[in-house]
Structure 1
Amino acid sequence: MATRRAPKKRGATTSRKRTPVRRSGFRLPGWLWGLAGVIAGFLLAQHQHGTAPWQEGSDSPLAKLIPRAPQAEQPVPRVEPREPRTPTFEFYNLLPEEMVAPQEVASTASPPAPRVEAPAPAESNARATAPPSEADPIARVIAANLQDESNAVPANETASRQPDASEPVATNTRYALQAGAFHQSGDAERLRERLRNLGLLAQVREIEHADGQTWHRVMVGPYDDNRELARAEGLLSTQGITAVRRPAAD
């Protein structure tokens, strides 16, 4: 049968409790140390950012904008209005040689009236048959039409149109110049425009003869002054046109 061992004897021990040792002095809390570390780290970062080598120097823009110089205003050239050119006519120099002096009438109780000399039949025929200038085709047409019209007018009508040289001409008689006569109205209009460009008062009259033929006469005038009438004749002669005087009522 098993035997039970007896427990070993232990000596009597005494247990002493240690008393905590209290330290004297002030201790900071942990959260205050953490806040101080955050502030120190922020200040250190700002110091490093302000003293970085690549940011040393003054802050200057990369490109400097130069202001554009104002352009000087260019003066606008002043355009002076041109005066209209006055047409000059050479017939003023030629007219003194071709002036027709009015015939003097015997002095009576009334003032002397100028007398217009009627062209003689021989002179009229010489003007009608005078050779026109070869350089002016219109002059040739005018001469040919004047010859045809003179042949077409009856003798009694021609005689009635010529003023009597033995009788004094009335002071109120007005005369016009026949510059040409045409069968075609277009030829008459062209001559009329040509004479108007020379400063003459030209118009076209349509005349029907007894034989049934219709003529378009280019008339210049009428004129009350014999000097103006002579000037118009001289101007027409410089253009190679032989004019025929006709009463204004014709």
Structure 2
Amino acid sequence: MFGKAPRGATQRPPVKEPSNQKLIPGWLWMIFGMLLGLFIMVMLYLWQPWRPAQRPIDATQPSSTQASDDETNKDYQFYDLLPKQQVTPVPDEAVPTGNTNAAENIIVVQPTTPPVEPTIQGAVQDSANASHSDPVEITAATTPQYILQVNSYQNPDDADARRAEILLVGLPADVRQSALADGSTWFRVISGPFANRAEALNAQNLLQNSGIDSLVVEQRK
């Protein structure tokens, strides 16, 4: 009725599969605890919560000791620099003197002769002297004239021949006789006179075109 188990067959216990979770060793936990405690001690040392809080010192207000040190240094610098300073004495001339010395230096100079005041009588006398003064000679300004001096000849016939040539040009001509200191006689041929220098120059150009040389001479009346 009941079935029988096969012989030689036994039931095996279930095999546990190995867990994937790795266990942390104890020595690693000990090192971690030591590091954590050391970190907490350092933080407490730096923070120091048991000390009372201190007020911040204002940097703009110097302490009393620093002020006293500065004053001491200034005193030392003054006494160190004092022997090196050169004191320039004030000259006596720069010191102003009293009013008495200034009064002694003033010299009053009085005029030797009193100033001459103009009077009516003096003015009348001056006008009378001016009326009796020498008369002033007034000469009229002389007006110059210009002539052309052509040639000078010792033979009067040569002078007349040159005079005729000038007349043929259409210009006035004349022969003037002059005696020299040595007793010789010369005959000068001239052309003119001309009222101004411009007319004389024009006449000179006409003679030059005809082959006759001349010289412009200025004469005063």
> Scaled by the length of structure 1, what TM-score is found?
0.30
Larger fraction in helix = 2
Alignment TM-score, normalising by the size of structure 2? 0.34
- Which one has a bigger Cα radius of gyration? 2
